[in-house]
Structure 1
Amino acid sequence: MSKDAIVLGAGIVGVSVALHLQARGVRVTLVDRRAPGEETSFGNAGLIEASSVVPYGFPRDWRTLLRLMRNDSTMLRYDLRSLPAYARWLASFWRESAPARLAGAAHDMLPLIGRCVAEHEALLARSEARMDAYADTRPDAGMDPDARTDLRALVRPVGWLEAYRSPAEFEREREEALRVAGQHGLRVNVLDAAGLRAAEASISEGYAGAIHWADPASVADPGALVKGYAQLFLREGGRFAKGDALSLRKEGSGWQVRTEDGPLTAELAVVALGPWSDLVTGPLGYHVPLMAKRGYHMHYASEAGAPLTRPVVDIEGGYVVAPMNRGLRLTTGVELATRERPPNYAQLDAAERAARPVFGLGKRLDDKPWMGMRPCTPDMRPVLGPAPRHAGLWFAFGHNHHGLTLGPVTGRLVAEQIMGETPFTDPRPYLPQRFA
């Protein structure tokens, strides 16, 4: 029996859901206010984090907490006016980050993390198989129908580096890394200071060592990857429409949303709007505790004598430097500020001062810093599954720091549920009713 669906949100998650539904014979229209890959999916560190089996929890060491409370860290900043809005969410996040609960979150996330690279590979292979059909691409997604994006070249199997300035911290974390790698069958290499310089000649002195997680992939242009996946969706007969997701409403036995082409009605609707998802689900009576962790990035020319070959996370510094097609992308840690608050570039400026001499950052290449929002739940699990009280409505959001990582595997799991297939993993840890 054929179905039709509206997928709200054209980031990595929404595009992936659309592709997986399309592969199962569903007629899908992707709806967003902007072209695919131009919001949260555009501005991350470009990591497909196959090694991040333990979610990013709330720091529980009192020394770290005291340091973060000073509000001058590149790892975490907060907007004082926004803190009341975050208070309840932070209390839940603190509780869920207790060691036993964090271990439970890691257990629940492992089936998704474990398949993240394989599901990206499946979409890359599907895209390669359709390269000869580019002439059929329709330009209604704000993309050049004649453009040929080599998606495979964007995804590099080089892993990433955790770099440590403190010798004591490096020694502690290397033992934990080896334990986690052994437990989960991950590939890891421990590099002392000399080994790090040999692996990445562009990095100057300053680090005691680094841990090279070899399983993750690095994406040279996350926005282009999402656009490439969206082009695959269009080439295979999907539709894209610019529209207002906030206009979603029940219409008979289906769902309707307003678009520039007029009202659009379908049997199914999937909310995949990242940090804006609660603006749609809230009026329908679903109070999912979704909050945004804001972040910033800037691209730089390189003045180092050699190219950086893989992303580097400065653990104590709380920032990432990643080689991108546009240049070296510096991404910040977390800023707690509500959606309506203006950008505050102090965190990025501080990260730039710390990273410039170590990585040879040259001139800024962007007109202004980019700011985006990570959609986060306090229990560190995404919200994937049917809306408990509305037939035909599905949720796919709340991926915390791992939207790019988990987009394709999310698309598979949500599509399997919608179509009544046996899911590849138990979906219960991610279902919306846990927040009822």
Structure 2
Amino acid sequence: MSHQQIVVLGAGMVGVSIAWHLAKRGHDVSLVDRRPPGRETSFGNAGIIQREAVRPYPFPRDMKTLLSVLPNRRVDIRYRPGGMMQSASPLLRYWQNSAPKVYQRIVPEYASLIQLSLQEHGPMIEDAQAEKLIRRDGWLELYRTPKKLEQRLREAEEGRERFDVQFRHLDRLELALKEPNLSDAIVGAVHWLDSWTVADPGALVEAYARAFETRGGRIVQADIESVTKERGRWRVTTKPVSSDSSSSESTQSVCLEADQVVVALGPWAGDWLKGLGYDFPVFVKRGYHMHYATQKAAHLNHWVMDAEVGYLLAPMQAGIRLTTGAELDRITAPPHESQLEAAEKEARKLFPLGARRDSVAWKGARPCLPDMKPVIGPAPGHEGLWLAFGHGHQGFTLGPATGRLMAEMMAGETPAVNMAPFRADRFR
């Protein structure tokens, strides 16, 4: 692909990474979003580049787990009737794809993306001069019962054999040396050794965006008004939004012409693409976070997940970040902080958290598809339109890998992995 004008819609980790890769290849790239880079879904995650996450999250299928979800009191998953009704069809397909035989076919396809995660974040971290945000000492998955820990260790061993995932089993004494302030209720942990952690996820996306600008890229902070194709050229029209970033162009309407357009709008991609005649089965898993001080001299050294309860604590620049599990609801529904409150109650038993540091909880949404895999590739009905969304829990991890693969496909090259499992027309 010779030098082209390209517009990327969406400035989360996925969109910024695609824009960076395209600019690196010498294209004239504009990145458009209503907010500054990294201020939506990418801002609020747990801040782990999860090399170990070779298995996507399946829908629970055993009756005991399903019955435990019904009272809507679990920490790891909550639901709202309106959200369940709106997403009934994709959730049913998600459940069907979680059947063991189907799921086992999905795992290696999904893992092919995860295996690229560290090698693709690495050059972007270097280019963005963002090393100060990165730690490379892994994270800890905590367990309260020996049975659950043993089951997880078997899965980890399979991951090591099939996908070269590195880990260590920590018994209670070894864990206490690493994290002396954790509750004695924890019997042991899996220490995932490969994964990297990020002290401020939003700041990493911002750093990648600055590196994109340094390569000649243009960031336009604006609302997308329309995307049309006229005489073989794409036309993106926008309207202004109030700006909280002086580096973005946001004082007037902008009309951008392009040879190619990439849609990387995360949880908004499904609704937005309906205007172009597509109907993707997108649903969202919402999530919350809150930052805390610590009590007295307590210190958290690693990112830790209370695996059997379903929340994560991360020692970030803003404080100890508590991130919740999934809430199944409409993306536009008002926040429901009961899940966060339940997670906080359990977290205070695990680790001596202090006062809340945020005035309100952050709320975001993870874009999901029923087969647990993202869409990455050309739109089936429009030449020059490319799609990259539906990364579920792993958009932060998979953004740079998606950027590389998208740039390779747009150039007509053979991508680093087989992209057939991620094609857009698989839902027809």
| Superposition TM-score tier, normalisation by shorter sequence | over 0.9
1:255 aligns with 2:234: yes
Identity of aligned residues (%): 46
- The CA deviation string for residues 203-251 of structure 1, in whole angstroms up to 9 with x for no partner, is 1221111111111111110000000000001111110112223522223
CA contact (8 A) 1:304 1:359 kept: no
For 2:231 and 2:40, locate their aligned partners in 1 and report how far apart those are by CA, in whole Å: 32
CA contact (8 A) 2:298 2:352 kept: no
Alignment partner for residue 234 of structure 1, among 194, 198, 213? 213
CA contact (8 A) 1:54 1:103 kept: no
For 1:324 and 1:195, locate their aligned partners in 2 and report how far apart those are by CA, in whole Å: 23
Partner of 1:178: 157
Alignment of 1:35-434 (within 5 A): 35-128=36-129, 151-259=130-238, 260-303=252-295, 305-434=297-426
Partner of 1:143: none
Shift of 1:112: 1.0
Aligned AA (2:25): R
TM-score by length of 1: 0.93
Shift of 1:328: 0.4
For 2:37 and 2:327, locate their aligned partners in 1 and report how far apart those are by CA, in whole Å: 25
> Equivalent residue of 1:14, what SS?
helix
CA contact (8 A) 2:171 2:187 kept: yes
For 2:140 and 2:31, locate their aligned partners in 1 and report how far apart those are by CA, in whole Å: 36
- The CA deviation string for residues 275-300 of structure 1, in whole angstroms up to 9 with x for no partner, is 00112211211111111100000000
For 1:372 and 1:104, locate their aligned partners in 2 and report how far apart those are by CA, in whole Å: 30
Greater shift in the superposed pair: 201-210 or 220-229: 201-210
User: 1:251–1:360: structure 2 CA closer, same or farther, 3 Å change rule?
Assistant: farther
Shift of 1:410: 0.1
Greater shift in the superposed pair: 335-344 or 277-286: 277-286
For 2:52 and 2:215, locate their aligned partners in 1 and report how far apart those are by CA, in whole Å: 32
Shift of 1:435: 1.3
CA contact (8 A) 2:199 2:317 kept: yes
Aligned AA (2:133): L
Aligned AA (2:221): K
Shift of 1:99: 1.1
Shift of 1:77: 0.4
Aligned AA (2:149): F
Q: Which sections of structure 2, spanning at least 5 residues, go unmatched?
A: 239-251
For 2:296 and 2:62, locate their aligned partners in 1 and report how far apart those are by CA, in whole Å: 36
Q: Which sections of structure 1, spanning at least 5 residues, go unmatched?
A: 129-150
> Equivalent residue of 1:250, what SS?
strand
Partner of 1:21: 22
CA contact (8 A) 1:246 1:280 kept: no
Greater shift in the superposed pair: 74-83 or 290-299: 74-83
For 1:204 and 1:335, locate their aligned partners in 2 and report how far apart those are by CA, in whole Å: 27
> Equivalent residue of 1:296, what SS?
strand
Give the RMSD, CA atoms, in angstroms.
Answer: 1.2
Shift of 1:422: 1.7
Greater shift in the superposed pair: 352-361 or 165-174: 165-174
